[in-house]
Structure 1
Amino acid sequence: MLQLLDDWPQWNLTSQKPQPGQIELLPGGLTNQSFMLHLSSGDYVLRLEAGNSGELDINREREYQIHQQAAAAGLVPEIIFRSQGKHKYWIRRYIAGELLTPETLNQDTLIQMVQALRRLHQLPVSGDLPLISLTQKGGRYLQTIAAQQSAPAGLLTLAEQLLQQFEPLPDSQPCVCHLDPTLGNWIRTAHGLQLLDWEYAGLAHPLWDLAALCQDVHLSEYHQQQLLDHYFGVGQWRSSQWRYARNQMALLAALWYGAQQIWSLPELETYLLSLQAVNL
């Protein structure tokens, strides 16, 4: 980290090189490492890219493009410096606020989250933004899982079958999506909610974002219906599409947990078997 401080003239944020005492490691983040920079011009976040971006199917150019689009819509602070050198990182202004937690979550906040996601989903789609493929993204996770010692062939075959089964989108209405709108990526500020960490963002289906959010906060069926009614309008969504989208995101999340070794291989296989059983 300290060697990155040699880049300070390129930042155009300070008139002198920052000292080690002006750097603070920020907690959280399962993929990347972030630091706080206390500079004379203000506080900034410096985020280092993880070395396993390829294994997690993270396209950094796509992330940057969507991040800046979302910043223009007021959903996240813009990136003001991006390194193109040996060490990949970016800098944005720090925003003070409170990370959302299950204890602080309420109905009003959920509505604000849905409204923010709807604003995101209404962003114009760039012609060079490829459609997210469940089999491609899940397949990259599966490659990482297969490289683990003693990965059972039955587990890999089952995962491949489920990826093929759930490949198609719920319908042909893709939009710009965050794809990881979990509580830890939301911060409540004086200017409203901000949505952080856009590394998995891409062109996908709006139900994927809503499903990822509902799964993370463990919403009941009743509250899921309320959320969907608020997003689409009462009765303007199909329950079959919603169940399908939930299964898609549940499968993708399970494979991500397996690739990151958050879940053991037996835990992953048990979960995939239960997902298969529900959809037989």
Structure 2
Amino acid sequence: MAQQLPSTATEQRIWHLCQRLEFFANHVPLALQKLAASSTNDNYYVHTQRGHYLVRHYKPGVAGVCRQQELRCQHAAAAAGVAPAPLCLNNHQRILISDFLTHSRHFDWELHHTHLLQLVEKLVRLHKLKVQTPVLDPFVYLQQLRDKVFDAAWSADDEQDWQRLRTAASAFSLLPGDQVLCHMDLHSGNILLQHQQLWLIDYEYCQQADSAFDLAALCLNLQLNTKEQEQLLNLYLQFRPQARQDIAQRLQLASLLYSGFCWLWYKSLEGGADKAKLAQLTLRQFPCQHSDAAKTLS
């Protein structure tokens, strides 16, 4: 390992992290930068004389995430031209290294809506992949998220919304499913545009689930209006007509459930109160009683 260390304290911390890995043996650092962090990982840009890399350092004690599963999903997505290639996973050091997409920027619907066809095409490629992963059970996942929320932070209104989510999960289970490899965390920060090419990144929560969950995530996180949602759905069904059955009910219930996932996730995090309130307001826009399946339950 070349011992040319960067000058700033942040750069030195990043390079010392890289020095734990044989992958960077004999690399000379040229540029290092701390990128956005999440509740489960810190991200760094590392440029050496050999290439450009994204280094993800996972925080200790993160439950419910399988890094080997994440690696398998990203490998498959990279082979299909959907994701940047993963290069090295070191579970002991909790580090995943991937190709870094230079000169890329986060997807912005207002600026990049003309790339909708390409976005749908990349999503369809992901949904057609065959990767061995667990299958999402919305009812079980809701309970897992609820168990992480302190009862002291739980109100009567929260309980009412919780029961609506449980009803929606039961209703969703009665509809014909369309199980695919879902990303499950599609938002503008996980869609990159590089030289007019779109890439989907961050496969931390990728698993088998109903295709409606990824479609719901895009509609919600990109804040698509009714016309834009119809355009997205019509394009998707052109590529995957088998997803058409009960798509309206599945998408409505998936939107409610996805908003509920976000609400409970943020409600369990320290400092996540504002995002939790926003997600809770969003889930209230999707009363599950509008679904025929939910009416059957009642």
Which bin holds the TM-score, normalised by the shorter protein?
A: 0.7 to 0.9
Q: Which residue of 2 aligns with 1:94?
A: 100
1:155 matched to 2:158: yes
Q: Which residue of 2 aligns with 1:188?
A: 193
Distance in 2 between residues matched to 1:133 and 1:39, nearest whole Å = 43
Q: Which residue of 2 aligns with 1:7?
A: 20
Distance in 2 between residues matched to 1:227 and 1:183, nearest whole Å = 15
Q: Which residue of 1 aligns with 2:136?
A: 132
One-letter amino acid matched to 2:121: Q
Deviation at 1:165, TM superposition (A): 3.4
1:18-97 alignment, distance < 5 Å? 22-27=31-36, 29=38, 31-51=40-60, 53-54=62-63, 57-85=64-92, 87-96=93-102, 97=104
Q: Using a 3 Å threshold, how does the CA distance of structure 1 residues 135 and 4 change in structure 2: closer, same or farther? A: same
One-letter amino acid matched to 1:45: L
Q: Using a 3 Å threshold, how does the CA distance of structure 1 residues 228 and 173 change in structure 2: closer, same or farther? A: same
Q: Using a 3 Å threshold, how does the CA distance of structure 1 residues 110 and 266 change in structure 2: closer, same or farther? A: closer
Q: Using a 3 Å threshold, how does the CA distance of structure 1 residues 68 and 270 change in structure 2: closer, same or farther? A: closer
Distance in 2 between residues matched to 1:228 and 1:132, nearest whole Å = 22
Distance in 2 between residues matched to 1:228 and 1:33, nearest whole Å = 34
Q: 1:218 aligns with which of 213, 218, 223?
A: 223
Task: Report how many aligned residue pairs link the two structures.
Answer: 269
Q: Using a 3 Å threshold, how does the CA distance of structure 1 residues 41 and 263 change in structure 2: closer, same or farther? A: same
One-letter amino acid matched to 2:110: E
Q: Which residue of 1 aligns with 2:145?
A: 141
2:259–2:279 CA contact under 8 A, matched in 1: no
Q: Using a 3 Å threshold, how does the CA distance of structure 1 residues 269 and 195 change in structure 2: closer, same or farther? A: closer
Q: Using a 3 Å threshold, how does the CA distance of structure 1 residues 93 and 215 change in structure 2: closer, same or farther? A: same
Distance in 1 between residues matched to 2:286 and 2:122, nearest whole Å = 33
Q: Using a 3 Å threshold, how does the CA distance of structure 1 residues 277 and 210 change in structure 2: closer, same or farther? A: closer
**Alignment RMSD:** 3.0
Distance in 1 between residues matched to 2:122 and 2:276, nearest whole Å = 37
Q: Using a 3 Å threshold, how does the CA distance of structure 1 residues 248 and 144 change in structure 2: closer, same or farther? A: same
Work out the percentage of aligned pairs sharing the same amino acid: 22
Q: Which residue of 2 aligns with 1:279?
A: 289
TM-score by length of structure 2 reads: 0.78
**Secondary structure of residue in 1 paired with 2:284:** helix
Distance in 2 between residues matched to 1:204 and 1:84, nearest whole Å = 26
Deviation at 1:251, TM superposition (A): 1.7
Distance in 1 between residues matched to 2:279 and 2:31, nearest whole Å = 46
One-letter amino acid matched to 1:193: L
Q: Using a 3 Å threshold, how does the CA distance of structure 1 residues 184 and 270 change in structure 2: closer, same or farther? A: closer
Distance in 2 between residues matched to 1:256 and 1:226, nearest whole Å = 30
Deviation at 1:269, TM superposition (A): 9.8
Distance in 1 between residues matched to 2:275 and 2:31, nearest whole Å = 42
Q: Using a 3 Å threshold, how does the CA distance of structure 1 residues 192 and 30 change in structure 2: closer, same or farther? A: farther
Distance in 2 between residues matched to 1:272 and 1:114, nearest whole Å = 24
One-letter amino acid matched to 1:171: P
Distance in 2 between residues matched to 1:191 and 1:47, nearest whole Å = 25
Distance in 2 between residues matched to 1:224 and 1:75, nearest whole Å = 22
Distance in 2 between residues matched to 1:112 and 1:118, nearest whole Å = 10
1:222-233 alignment, distance < 5 Å? 222-233=227-238
